[in-house]
Structures are given as C-alpha cells and as structure tokens.
Structure 1
Amino acid sequence: MEILPLLDFNAISKARPKWLVGFSDISTFACALTTRCGWATLHAANLMQIHPDDSDVYLANIFSAMSLEEKQQLHQVASPYYQQKPIDYKADPQAQFDYTAPSQWRCINYKDKRQIEVSGRLIGGCLDTLGLLLPSNYYALHEFKKQYAPEGLILYLENAELSPMALARCLLSLKLNDVFTDVNAVVFGRSPAINNDCYFDEYQAIELAFKGNLFPVIVDADIGHVAPNLALINGAVATITADLCEGMASNIIVKTDLK
C-alpha cells in the first residue's frame, strides 16, 4: 500500500507493458496496474515457490499464461488436493509442493442449481489490502468496467489474515460502497487465517455479506495463500463452469480468453 502513491500511473500507462506476477502484497499494485493503466497482470504463485524440478501443472500454467497470444485461451481445472501444511522456505529453500488435503470448491448461494456458467473480466487479489482500497480511485471498478469490461467482472478475493468478524465487516463495507454492483460472480480462495471463534466462521461471514445477491459466490477456490494457485490474468475474460451437487462444485473449468 505504501507503493501506490509513489507510482506515476500516467507514465506507466504510456510505457511498454511487462508481466507482473505473484499474489498477496503483489496483488495490491498489480490490480491497480490493470484498472488504472490497462495492463494485464498475473495473479499466480510467487517466484520463490517456483522450483525448477517441480512438475506441478499450476506452476507450468504461469508460463502458459504469459505466452498467450491475443484471442488464445488457457484452460485450467480445479485441483483435487491442496497444500495443507505451510512451507517454510527459509528453513527449506528447495521445498516443493505436496498436495495432500482433499479440495472442494463450493457455491454458497446456488444450492438449488445444477450448474454454474459465468463469464466476465477477471480482477482481484488479496482482500486484506484490496478490501481497504477497492472503494478508492486506485482501483475504481465502475470506471474500469465502463472502459474495459462491458461484459461485467469476475471479482476474485483471498483472505490472508482477517478473522471471520473482520472479514464480515470488510465485505459489508464493500457492499455498502457498491463495489459488487458490476460483478457477475465473486470467487474466494481458501484462507489460512486462524478462526478462534467457534460461533462464527469465514463461511458464515461470506454468507452474511452476500445474502440476497443473485450472482454466484464461490468459496475454497485455488487462489492465494493456500496452494495451488490458478494463473488468473487480471483484465482477461474468464468463463467458470462447474457442476453442482448440494452446493459442492465438481468438473470445474476456468477458461481464460486473452482478448
């Protein structure tokens, strides 16, 4: 957040675009480069997580995404497992991913439907910082939609450290500031945040904030601090399709169209 006021967005918008790749704090100004300058930026694993011997398809998709030509597509599927134990790269710089915990995307408000298919321009990142700045002119989603995304937005968010109550306050604040007006869907990544409240969890916080909304709200997606990470191109058109069974999503495909 300290970097944002130091950036000359007018000068950047006239420069030759370069790929900015990563998640967490990286997304704080990657998202701004997309909304303010029209750059495509890539929300994916960070550099220190990319081991040259790791055959993980999600890491390979980073380079596939950066290699896309205009009008080409990248197809990704949801991971059946995720990295449950955090990796200490300081203790083991050569560590590689080991997905062992079963993964299951869910749709919290489409429990009576059998299938989801939703499209829109991707934009998003780490809620811990974006949640404080989305109503500001650093992101200005309404203007971004008018200029770049007449088809609407798919807003993806991931919670790094917010407690369930703080998460609820953050999302309700965004709702009251009309941040969700232009979105076709909201997708939440799995959260590593510790939940010490046995009466109120992050799922209840999300359900509280989006009660009554007609667009799909997906949770536990492969986004953010809990690996693996989909390669999500901010500014690209994406289509998410999934079969549903009592809110549980399967056969999930994320198709990104670089246009």
Structure 2
Amino acid sequence: MIKYPVLEPGAVIGVTAPSSGVGEELRELLELACSRLQEQGYGVVCGATAWTQDKAKSAPASVRAAEFNAMMADDSIGLVIPPWGGELLIEILEQVDFDHMKVKWILGYSDISVLLLAVTLRTGIATAHGTNFIDLRGKETDPVTAMWESVLSTASGESVLQHSSQQYQLEWGGGEPSPHVFNLTEITNWKTVGNQNVTMQGRLLGGCIDVIRHLIGTPYGDVRYFQQHYIQNEPILWYLENCELSVTDLRRSLLQMKLAGWFDHCSGLMFGRSAANRPMENYTVEDVYQELASELGLPVVYDIDCGHLSPQLTLVNGAFAEVEVRVEAEEAGGMEEGQKGRGTVRQYFRP
C-alpha cells in the first residue's frame, strides 16, 4: 500500500540540500523564498547545507545525508523541500535511513528526483515531483506551480485535478523580471505520438531521466519489487523529463530502462518539454518517441508541463492517475485552436 503524507496548514518546511546548495553569491534568492513562505503562514527551517556549495555539491555526502535524515525524523518538520536540484545526489543514497523515515512530503525535481524515486520504490511513501523551494520566491505564483499546495493537501482516498498550463518559459533568465518568477511567453501544446487524443491511467513513477537511469540495477531502483509489494501489480504510468541528454543518449537510456524491465506492465509514458531535444543529423526526439511507442505498443504523450521548462505539474510518485490529452476534435465541428494540445491529470491518492 502507498502511504500518503498530508500537508497541514502552517506546517514547518525543512529546507535541506541533498544535492546542491545555494552558495553565498545567490543567498538572497533563498532568503527571499524563506520570507515568501513565512508570509504565507509556513514555518521555515533551513539546514546548514542549504547555504553552502563547493565541488558540485552542498557538502560531503555524509553531511548531506545526516541533515536529510534528521529532518525526516523530526516530528516538528512537516515537509522537506530542497532549494533546487544539482548533480550528485546519488552519493547520499547509501546513507539515507529508509527504514526509519517518517511519512512526510519531499518535494522537488531535477537531481532531487533520484531521492524521490528511491524513497517511493523502497518505502512505499508517496513523494512529489514539482517545484523547488527557490522558485516559490515570487510575489505571485502562476496557477500551475501554485497547485503544489492543493496536491500536497489532498487526503488519502481523495483526488486532485490539474490542468495543462497556458504558457511556459522557454529559457532561464530571459525577458523582463516577472512577479511570479517565470517568464511565461510560449504557448503550451501537449502532443501525442500519432497526433490522436489519448486517455491513459496507472500508478505514477518518474523523474529526470538524466539521473534516475543510474538507479537501474541498484537496490534503490527495484521497480518490480515496488509493483509487487506496494501497488498489487497495477500498471505504471511513467513521466520523464530530459535536462541535458542528446537525443541519442535519450534513446539509449530509454532502451536501458526497457531492458531492465522498468516498462514491464506499463500503461503509457509522458515526457516533459526539454531544451536539450535538438536533432542529431536528422534523428529527432519525435523519432525517439515514435520508436518507443511502436516497440512498447503504448501511448506516448510529450511536451507536458514537467521539468526544466517551467511551469510544471506536481506529480506524485505512487498515486493513481488518469491523464487525458486532446489534440484533435472528437466530434463534428472540431475544437477551437486554443483547445488543442490541452491536457488534464487527475491523481487519486489510492492506498
């Protein structure tokens, strides 16, 4: 059975950096995020690792793991949100205390998805792939990002609905400063292989493919055990996002996941938008998606609100989800242009 934490009003947020910390030169971003969340009624406790960064990590692995373990064991802390991702979270996994972990939310993405996926696969505790702490520093929060509170406040046995965004951010740091952090300038358009409307459902698992692929073959990436012991062999609905992989590396990584059995008893796949999806020769990411859909005989949806081109949905590892994507008219008369490429994700917090 999946165990779902619940975000309580006025909860204390523990900010620890199991991957990268903020560092002195960007200290004001973390300070601003702390102030914004406190204004909204949350308590905020920042660990020492949140403020430091050296040699591509916030601190040595033992220090990062100890601070994370302490926050997960502390009853006064209601949820844990790292400041952002990084590069070397995988270094701490051997020192994470999975056996004595309290049931509380961990929220983040990018390199943090290594920790999220490992925790859910090992313990059956639901984890949340979504915004990081730093991106909550704005005077306003866009509607898609703001759903993190509604999703994490959903009670076990209940459901929560999220809609695709209207616009997304094309690149970091571009354009004029925005009161809600992101510069949302590009029209969102969810797509499907075959360009047909898609409906699919299953237990959500996923993260940043660049890093979660390294869990394959380790004690922290046993998808088959998770299916058998926690979700009674229900199908898995994968969501994946590519930060930096070339299209050929993406293809290799997906094949490795397939060969490792990660796509056994799978109901479909969703891919986030990515600035890394540049063609190699004439081999495109659409070719990758088409090949995967053909090999697995499964629906593939792409360019969803997930990953490094914000905003992004809050997707809960372990939750049962129903996904609908509309890319064409189902009835005579068709759809308005603004209705095409829209999607919804309803997550059921089913044990």
Distance 1:251 1:225, change over 3 A: closer
236, 240, 259: which one aligns with 1:157: 240
Note the alpha carbon deviations across 1:103-155, whole angstroms, 9 max, x for none. 211111x44x5x32211111110100112223433121111111222321111
Q: Does 1:5 align with 2:94?
A: yes
Q: Does 1:21 align with 2:107?
A: yes
**Separation in structure 1 between the aligned mates of residue 105 and residue 250 of structure 2, nearest angstrom:** 30
TM-score by length of 1: 0.88
Partner of 2:199: 117
Partner of 1:98: 183
Note the alpha carbon deviations across 1:36-88, whole angstroms, 9 max, x for none. 01111110111111134123112221111111112221111111321012138
Alpha-carbon distance, 1:93 to partner = 11
Alpha-carbon distance, 1:7 to partner = 1.4
Q: Does 1:30 align with 2:113?
A: no
Q: Does 1:43 align with 2:140?
A: no
1:1-259 correspondence runs (5 A):
1-12=90-101, 16-87=102-173, 96-108=181-193, 110-111=194-195, 113=196, 115-149=197-231, 150-193=233-276, 195=278, 197-245=280-328, 250-259=341-350
Structure 1: give runs of 5+ residues left out of the alignment.
none
Return the structure number with greater strand share.
1
Distance 1:153 1:195, change over 3 A: same
Identity of aligned residues (%): 31
Mark the structure with the bigger radius of gyration. 2
SS at match of 2:105: coil
Matched AA of 1:103: T
Matched AA of 1:121: R
**Separation in structure 2 between the aligned mates of residue 250 and residue 93 of structure 1, nearest angstrom:** 25
Root-mean-square deviation (CA, aligned residues, Å) is 2.2
| Matched residue count | 249
Matched AA of 1:47: F
Matched AA of 1:236: A
Note the alpha carbon deviations across 1:156-193, whole angstroms, 9 max, x for none. 11000100111111111212222111211111101121
Matched AA of 1:102: I
Runs of 4+ off more than 4 Å? 92-95
TM-score by length of 2: 0.66
**Separation in structure 1 between the aligned mates of residue 106 and residue 222 of structure 2, nearest angstrom:** 20
Contact 1:51 1:94 in 2 (8 A): no
Structure 2: give runs of 5+ residues left out of the alignment.
1-89, 330-338
Contact 1:241 1:252 in 2 (8 A): yes
**Separation in structure 1 between the aligned mates of residue 123 and residue 142 of structure 2, nearest angstrom:** 32
Contact 2:270 2:300 in 1 (8 A): yes
Matched AA of 2:187: P
**Greater relative contact order (Cα < 8 A, sep 6+):** 1
Contact 1:168 1:208 in 2 (8 A): no
SS at match of 2:198: strand
Partner of 2:32: none
Contact 1:87 1:95 in 2 (8 A): no
